[in-house]
Chain A
């Protein structure tokens, strides 16, 4: 069965510092991979997604993620965090074989110190 692990429940960084949020997945083949962000009082917004091709994916708001097959990872990065990035971040996987549901990780809550 597919599963997604986000090892870090909470992360705190200083504004302007770099950020990496970890995501590991369990799946027999290359799944479709997604990162979503949930700001307070907001719905989830897609940051980026990976299906195939270049393993470094660029998203919105200056985020990027790198797919590493050997590590079954899809970590999210940002070189310089802004206070407005404080939110909860969810990694998700989807099965390419026609299944239509996303399997989400438990989320990582990001706090940004001024």
Chain B
């Protein structure tokens, strides 16, 4: 079946512009995660959605970052007024949402963001 998909695969933007990154989770998965992978760094948790519950936004690095999940499926990560330090690969993952962190998270291929 289809895995997690993300678009665009690459995005180049100018400093100060806003960007939107999209994630389509695996059908039927109620849990959705966003992570950021900066050059030479591990993955950094950003935000977690579970069904209709309030998202866990504890990993968002600043108020320029926001995310939403419409209809419990597709999610959009928005970065406003981008800065060069926002350049990274943004990864989305989904899981069934039945068993917490021990569930296998399935990752998309990521969106590589470059802020000039």
Contact = CB atoms under 8 A, between A and B. Distances in A.
| A and B held together in a complex | yes
A103 B91 contact: no
A100 B109 contact: no
Contact of B110 (A43, A94, A104): A43
A94 B31 CA distance: 15
A44 B107 contact: yes
A43 B33 contact: no
Given A4-B42, A100-B50, A102-B43, A32 B101 contact: yes
Interface residues of A, number: 27
Contacts of A101: 33, 45, 48, 56, 58-59, 101
B7 to A, nearest CB: 13
A43 B109 contact: yes
A46 B102 CA distance: 12
A105 B44 CA distance: 9
Given A90-B42, A100-B50, A106-B41, A32 B102 contact: yes
What are the 8 closest A-B residue pairs judged by CB atoms, nearest first?
A: A94-B101, A104-B42, A43-B107, A101-B45, A44-B107, A104-B43, A106-B42, A43-B109
29 contacts: A4-B42, A32-B102, A36-B107, A43-B4, A43-B108, A43-B109, A43-B110, A44-B93, A44-B107, A45-B107, A46-B104, A51-B102, A90-B43, A94-B102, A95-B101, A98-B101, A99-B100, A100-B31, A100-B48, A100-B50, A100-B100, A100-B101, A101-B33, A101-B48, A101-B56, A102-B45, A102-B101, A104-B43, A105-B42
Given A94-B102, A100-B31, A100-B56, 14 more contacts: A36-B107, A43-B107, A43-B109, A44-B43, A44-B107, A46-B105, A90-B42, A94-B101, A96-B102, A100-B50, A100-B100, A101-B59, A102-B101, A106-B42
